[in-house]
Structure 1
Amino acid sequence: MDITKEIQKLKEEKNAIVVAHNYQNKDIQEIADFVGDSFYLSKICAQRQEKMIIFCGVYFMAETTKILSPHKKILLPEINAGCSLANMITADDVDRLKEEYPDYSIVCYINSPASVKAKSDVICTSSNAIKIVRNIPNNKIIFLPDRNLGLFVKRNVPEKDIVLWDGFCFTHSKIKKDDALKAKSDHPDALLLVHPECREEVIELADFVGSTKQIIDFVISSPAKEFIIGTEIGILHSLKNLNPEKRFYILSQRMICPEMKKTILTSVREALLHEKYEINVDENVLEGAQRALIKMLKIG
């Protein structure tokens, strides 16, 4: 049997859905029931009736889904699919920050471990980070773990004292000003759209800065016909499907996340067939992380 048909058959037998992040391989996106950014997918999974979720992404995303759907079975097809950014901070680091800055509120980017979320005051996404920081009552903020996103927030909310954790995404941070200038020179009629995890020197050259969903929405509504895309290359699949009449150029061919590309069709089939690998979150951690996520929904 064709592997995609086998996956479909297994989904029906197991009462399962497959969700895939925008950065996944094209063939994974095509067999998924839903494609999007991590928090969107976690919310969709919480709303669905299916009790088994195959999350094609990286570890922290599956954890977030478990936090929002604690009574469902969340499976990560590639258990070693991690995130360089999320791995740059621990719960112990947060404890030390609280001791050093006792009067500061901690705003934690969703790209982080569940144990870090649980010790934070509120979570944010790349879409709502500015709004969260602006709306939180405290004027003293610790923003973690992404320094580049934190700098972007700091520039847009200058009235607040923001302390940054020095973490970064390898895929976005490797792109420099010269890469952006070359892309703009090669495609002078194209708009440059970048993710806020990029370096500040790249963001300053952009025509638009936003999350994966915000980039997709911008392209759909824009009258422009050509775009340079400054985020992980996997997003091109959705952009091209939704905008067949427009042209897209990746900012750099190096914008590939090796962790996102670990998931392949056989991984998904094995996850469904053998129900592996199940993601669980300690109950105390889960409760703390839920609290921080609920606060994000209230103020963001």
Structure 2
Amino acid sequence: MATTTLWTGGLSQIHDGPGGYSGIEAGPEWAAEIKRLARSRGATILAHNYQLPAIQDVADHVGDSLALSRIAADASEDEIVFCGVHFMAETAKILSPDKRVLIPDARAGCSLADSIDAEQLREWKSEHPDAVVVSYVNTTAEVKGLTDICCTSSNAVEVVESIDPDREVLFLPDQFLGAHVKRVTGRTNMLIWAGECHVHAGINGDELTARSRAYPEAELYVHPECGCATSALYLAGEGFVPAEKVKILSTGGMLDAARTTGAKQVLVATEIGMLHQLRKAAPGVDFQPVNERASCPYMKMITPAALLRCLTEGKDEVHVDRGVAERARQSVERMIAIGTPGGGGE
């Protein structure tokens, strides 16, 4: 009862500002109350790899967006609290239409998902009526509903290779992931939407080159959404970095590599929230960001105060139109039928 009283009063300390809800510190009492509230609501807490460390540590499951959505679908709980950005919570709702899905702050958007909307995709499709549409899971439910098959960063190459080589492919929305897929597959009839994640796009080749020269023994883990992915391959090709040390990986792939690496130091090119899970997976390895400013402000809107508010008041619920959800679910299921996406949604 004392804990309940403490945190019921604590709700009055929550402030709402442009960066999200604040006013609550993530201490042991907060963590205990979050766990108690989740149990009382019959909820499971999911946290994306890019979330604040305190949010990751209090969650029941941590991973990439698609892996977490699949966990949500299999969970025995009827309520899902998704600590991530809005399209991720939508995907959980798509795969769990009969469950209640909450996001601690519905304003947590995504620059990549926002780089193409349903109307833009309809127009693009009308210009290429025979093309197969491949959408990254980092898209809205409406875009997924207009998609033939989804992909993740770990299986995008496999998805594109599964399509008849004579069929034109419209790949969206990430131009850097698209360029990586086109480079690996050698496909010439693949058109790529000019979208980007502003955080990943901001990790540039000059920074990667400078960090690599400063740490010549380090391995490189580079997310294919990054603007520096091509630079990483160039460094390997020119011999500045041994080719075997350059790894283009999804977040799930980074964790797999971290658990087996023999390197003492690894430079990581992705959103800096990923460093928390990497350091937990391989505590003996020195993981350093290529760009220490690569922090997504939308991901960081899921604050301790936001999560407490969500679990106490049941806010904010995510809704997806049933018809849209059914069409979107088909595009996700076609992807899963090709091969298990694993832990590489982003």
TM range (shorter): over 0.9
Deviations 1:143-175 (A, max 9, x none): 000000000000011134110100001011012
Answer yes or no: is the 8 Å Cα contact 1:196–1:203 preserved in 2: no
Deviation at 1:15, TM superposition (A): 0.7
1:173-218 Cα deviation digits (max 9, x unpaired): 0121110011101211101111000124334247000110001111
Establish whether residue 67 from structure 1 lines up as the match of residue 106 from structure 2. Answer: no
Partner of 1:195: 223
Counterpart of 2:211 in structure 1: which amino acid?
A
Task: Tell me what 1:106 maps to.
Answer: 133
C-alpha contact (below 8 Å) 1:14/1:52 kept by paired residues: yes
| Residue in structure 2 matched with residue 86 of structure 1 by the alignment | 113
Note the 1:238-249 alignment, pairs <5 A.
238-249=277-288
CA RMSD of aligned residues (A): 1.1
2:343 aligned partner: none
Q: After superposition, give the CA deviation of every residue in 1:211-238 in whole Å (9 maximum; x if it has no partner).
A: 1000111121121121000001011111
Tell me which amino acid in the other structure corresponds to 1:145: P
**Aligned counterpart, 1:237:** 276
1: CA distance, partners of 2:146 / 2:123? 11
2:243 corresponds to: none
Alignment match, 2:43: 16
Q: CA deviation at 1:260?
A: 0.5
Matched with 2:338 is 299
Length-normalised TM-score, structure 2: 0.85
Matches within 5 A, 1:32-47: 32-47=59-74
Aligned to 1:150: 178
The AA in structure 2 aligned to 1:43 is: R
2:316 pairs with 1:274: no
Q: Does 1:256 align with 2:295?
A: yes
Give yes or no for contact 1:194–1:209 (8 Å, CA) kept in 2. yes
Aligned to 2:250: 211
Taking the aligned partners of 1:219 and 1:242, their CA distance within structure 2 comes to 7
Return the offset for 1:273.
1.0
* Structure 2: gaps of 5 or more residues: 4-28, 237-245, 340-346
**SS of structure 2 residue aligned to 1:218:** helix
1:115 to 137, 142, 146: 142
Separation of aligned partners in 1, 2:203 and 2:273: 16
Q: How many positions carry a matched residue from both structures?
A: 300
Q: Secondary structure at the match of 2:47?
A: strand
1:171 aligns with 2:206: no
